[in-house]
Amino acid sequence: MLQLLAAQAERQATVSVWEDLHWADPSSLEFLSLLIEQLPTTKLLLVLTFRPEFVPPWKLRSHVSQLVLNRLGKKHVETMITQAAGQQLAPDVIEQIRLKTDGVPLFVEELTKSIVENAGEHGRAPLQTIPATLHDALMERLDRLGAAKEIAQIGATLGREFSYELLQAIAPVSETELSNAVAKLVETEILYQRGIREQARYFFKHALIQDTAYESLLKSTRQHYHRQIAQVLEERFPDTRATQPEVFAHHYTEAGLIEQAIPYWQAAGQGAIAQSANAEAIRYLTTGLTLLATLPETPERIQLELGLQTLLGVPFMTTKGWAAPEVKQAFSRALDLSQHLEETPQIFPALFGLTMYYGNRSEYRTAVELAERCLRLANLAQDSGLRFLAEAARGAFLAQMGELAQAREYCEQRLAQYDPARYSSLSFRFGLDSGIVFGGYSALSAWFLGYPDHTLRQAQDTWRGD
């Protein structure tokens, strides 16, 4: 992504705008941090907006300027009032709006529109009809939409952005009524539209408008919409289940259907791990565990928690370190949950996680014992991929214990049998690539044994993936 954006800026001076970073996911913030480091070498102007409470994760640099946007001054408020009204208002009305809105742009716009729409025959709205707060102004706008209000509420339940196709599948109105309602929402600038007809996508003009529409729903109605959305997605958009399980997880959670939501939180965590989105994976999996705690203790709950805890240890390894307390906590809990399963391959991930935890704490004897236990489970399952993982851990810890000749021979034998195309995908599940471990520790052992030429060849082959 960095290379693509840099190449674009190399061809032509480029402006890249990112809004509302206070809602950004961790991976996007990581990308921006890397991009900001490279800005001095590109013809790129990067513009970022966020609320004051957001703390940027990147370091301050001389090429980074931060501008604090305060509330609008009198002149700008008056200009905005005139633009929003589409006509010239009386000076005392303008002053009243200015004083009440206190320079908050969205409130200026919404209050102006409310006054214009409520204006009587003399072109003035009665004082008692003027909303006192931004929330009141937004609610009043929604109430004046008539039948379109329900469509706005369903859209708000779908999210800040949604498609016409999905809205049509949920809305309990005819196609003509829906088309008219959506047109009204666009006309009144509740929504923005991209595309036309069935291919159209809609965006709430402002997050506060979406929040107001969503919060105006009764809890029971809100849950009904979320349940309906999840069911329609499963029936009519099955591909979304595999590509965006977190969407299903969100809607089932908000619908109060916790048992249906938890497997989707687990799938979302697993998908995030496969994409190296480790911070997101931790959030998805811990959300699943928090919800799981609300369910009664049953064998099914034990199985669900075992899956969540086993997965959770992997992104903790990546973000906190292999020997972090969070790693031990996740895998130890998983191992405790699996005790009633006896020595079955199902406990391998938790056992392997603890193997790596103790090994990286230099508790090698314990780590080797656990690795040998993992090896027995892999052989029991007749799973060569798991066997390579257990052997990789054992070989690494033999080298670290100083058993260099044994470790070198052990790793080289396994490396000759290892097929990266077949087994390297396991690294996303376990945080370890067996082939790299075999090659790396074979090279390291050879170095300490006095064979630098072999070390160089082995290290180069491992680096190239040979």
pLDDT of residue 295: 92
39 shares its domain with 55: yes
CA 306 to chain centre: 22
Contact (CB, 8 A) for 182 and 154: no
402 shares its domain with 381: yes
Domain boundary among 165, 182, 217: 217
pLDDT of residue 277: 92
159 shares its domain with 41: no
Torsion of CA 409, 410, 415, 420, to 10 degrees: -160
349 shares its domain with 455: yes
* Rg value, the chain, Cα: 29
Burial zone of 189 (CB within 10 Å; 0-12 exposed, 13-18 middle, 19+ buried): middle
119 shares its domain with 12: no
Indicate whether 127 belongs to any domain.
yes
* Residue written as token pair 């050879």: 446
pLDDT of residue 18: 95
91 shares its domain with 57: no
Indicate whether 385 belongs to any domain.
yes
pLDDT of residue 124: 56
Indicate whether 390 belongs to any domain.
yes
Contact (CB, 8 A) for 311 and 273: yes
Helices 299-320 and 278-292, axial angle in degrees (round to 10): 150
Query: Minimal CA–CA distance to 155: which of 110, 114, 211?
Result: 211
pLDDT of residue 97: 84
Indicate whether 291 belongs to any domain.
no
| pTM of the entire predicted model | 0.79
Indicate whether 442 belongs to any domain.
yes
Indicate whether 158 belongs to any domain.
yes
Indicate whether 353 belongs to any domain.
yes
- Name the residue type at position 435: G
Rounded Cα distance between 331 and 349, Å, is 8
185 shares its domain with 131: no
pLDDT of residue 341: 61
The C-alpha angle with vertex 371 and arms to 365 and 374, in degrees rounded to 5, equals 150
Range of the domain at 120: 74-142
Domain boundary among 25, 47, 69: 69
pLDDT of residue 303: 87
Overall number of domains in the chain: 4
430 shares its domain with 458: yes
Taking every pair of C-alpha atoms in the chain, what is the biggest distance, in angstroms?
A: 98
CA 249 to chain centre: 12
133 shares its domain with 153: no
Contact (CB, 8 A) for 339 and 373: no
DSSP 58: S
Give the contacts of 295 (CB within 8 A, at least 6 positions apart). 258, 259, 301
37 shares its domain with 127: no
pLDDT of residue 110: 84
| H-helix or E-strand spanning residue 28 | helix 26-38
DSSP 338: T
pLDDT of residue 337: 86
Helices 348-359 and 384-400, axial angle in degrees (round to 10): 10
324-372: pLDDT as tens digits: 999 999 999 988 888 766 656 778 888 999 999 999 999 998 999 999 9
Tell me, what CATH number does 155's domain have? Answer: 1.10.10.10
pLDDT beneath 70, residues of the chain:
119-130, 340-344, 464-466
Indicate whether 203 belongs to any domain.
yes
The Cα-based distances of 337 to 242, 367, 421 in angstroms read: 28, 20, 33
Given strand 161-163, what is the order of strands in its sheet? Answer: 161-163, 201-204, 191-194
Query: Minimal CA–CA distance to 104: which of 115, 116, 112?
Result: 112
Tell me, what CATH number does 374's domain have? Answer: 1.25.40.10
CA atoms within 13 A on the CB side of 376: 10
Would you call 283 helix, strand, or coil by DSSP?
A: helix
360 shares its domain with 437: yes
By DSSP bridging, strand 161-163 and strand 201-204 are antiparallel
Domain boundary among 158, 189, 217: 217
pLDDT of residue 82: 87
122 shares its domain with 155: no
Give the phi and the psi of residue 363 in degrees, each rounded to 5. Answer: -95, 70
